[in-house]
Amino acid sequence: TIGLVISTLGYAMAAGSQTLPVMCVAAVMEGAYGLCTNAGNPRLLSSWFHRHYGLVTGVITAMTGLGGSVFSLIFGKIVSNLGWRSAYGITAGIIAAVTVMIAVLVRNKPADMGLKPYGEGYVPKNTKKDSEDHWDGYSFSVLKKKSSLRLVVVGTFLSCFCVYMPFSVLAAHVQDCGMSAEFAAGVQSLLMFVLAAFKLGFGFMSDKVGAKRMSMVSLVAVVAAMLLLAGIKTPATAYLSAVVYALALPICGIAPMLLVTTLFGYHSSAKVMGIILAMTSVGNMLTAPLSNLLRDMFGTYRPVFIGTAVVSVGVILLYLVIYKLADKDRKEYERSQQEITA
């Protein structure tokens, strides 16, 4: 709710801005919603859903992306017909209305409304699903000293750096491969629609086999996608590259939300998610200028993607180490809890 309020003020400020510094401040405020919701969602959703947590997270992230894509088109129409100031003002009004609805209808815990979490007491039939569900975890003061958290920060940066490397240049790369701008736009559209579907699938399968296994699937898909993108020669291979790349992108979307609670529990999930989001943003921010700089050096994006595939193999190995350390941390936590209750 706080993020929505700040975002509303940001859009309102943008609508009335007269100078560039004010517009920049407004842009930062507009992004507050994404930061606050992504950091707080794991804890909120885990309080409401003890069952199908992964699926619910997948639905929310998929709808967020789809809603953003649709609203971008609407926003563009408003700008064309009424001007950009009116577009920002209308957006502020819509967000304000949504903020009121959430403040009235949503609570942090079901108990605040006299309800119980969905699936309370549910025990998964698949006991080998890493026993990932619903553990409290260490306090952040303890967790920040753990090697597993430090490596997750590094792993998040590297995985997002790798997976976002083609994102902003995909259409340009397809055109470099001898295809039309219209076809390249179609490939980009295919990517976004398949990504929405894969987010749902990622969440659903995380409930079945665990977030760690599904994250590893996305990491392997990063390697495959980079090699496919580097080898685009026909329209068919361009479409195939987009589909596999869509499978890779959840590693910096839904995967962190599920992995944080899986690896570190819920107690410190909001703080850890804030760090993860910062690393995601840094990795994303660096990719577009770097990929274009390297393209100017080599005359093509192909070597960029091949190099990214090599780095991605190292990231896979790093995550395997992270999983091992996190499992060790959890066993120590559970042992300490047993000693306390004994």
* Contacts by residues 93-102 (CB-CB < 8 Å, ≥ 24 positions apart): 95/4, 95/7, 95/8, 95/11, 95/33, 96/8, 98/4, 99/1, 99/4, 99/5, 99/8, 102/1, 102/4
Calculate the CA dihedral of residues 51, 53, 54, 57 and round it to 10 degrees. Answer: 150
If one counts every other C-beta atom within 10 angstroms of the C-beta of residue 89, the result is 18
Q: What is the pLDDT of residue 195?
A: 87
pLDDT tens for residues 278-315? 888 888 888 888 998 999 999 999 999 999 999 999 99
Q: By CB neighbour count within 10 A (0-12 exposed, 13-18 middle, 19+ buried), where does 170 fall?
A: buried
In angstroms, how far is CA 179 from the centroid of its own chain? 30
For residues 144 and 152, give the distance between their C-alpha atoms in angstroms, rounded to a whole number: 11
- Start-to-end C-alpha separation, the chain: 41
Q: What is the pLDDT of residue 130?
A: 43
For residues 120 and 160, give the distance between their C-alpha atoms in angstroms, rounded to a whole number: 34
Token pair 């080599």 is found at 298
Name the helix (H) or strand (E) containing 321.
Answer: helix 302-341
Q: What is the pLDDT of residue 40?
A: 60
Handedness of CA 248, 249, 252, 257 (dihedral sign): negative
Q: What is the pLDDT of residue 148?
A: 94
| Residue ranges for the chain with pLDDT beneath 70 | 31-43, 46, 50, 52-54, 61-62, 64-66, 68-69, 72-73, 120-134, 342
Q: What is the pLDDT of residue 39?
A: 56
Q: Supply φ then ψ for residue 165, to 5 degrees.
A: -55, -45
Q: What is the pLDDT of residue 262?
A: 87
For residues 238 and 242, give the distance between their C-alpha atoms in angstroms, rounded to a whole number: 6
Q: What is the pLDDT of residue 111?
A: 81
Q: By CB neighbour count within 10 A (0-12 exposed, 13-18 middle, 19+ buried), where does 61 fall?
A: buried
Q: What is the pLDDT of residue 221?
A: 97
Residues 6 or more apart in contact with residue 152 via CB below 8 angstroms? 259, 263, 272, 276, 322
Structure tokens that stand for 166 in this block:
């083609």
DSSP state of 268: T
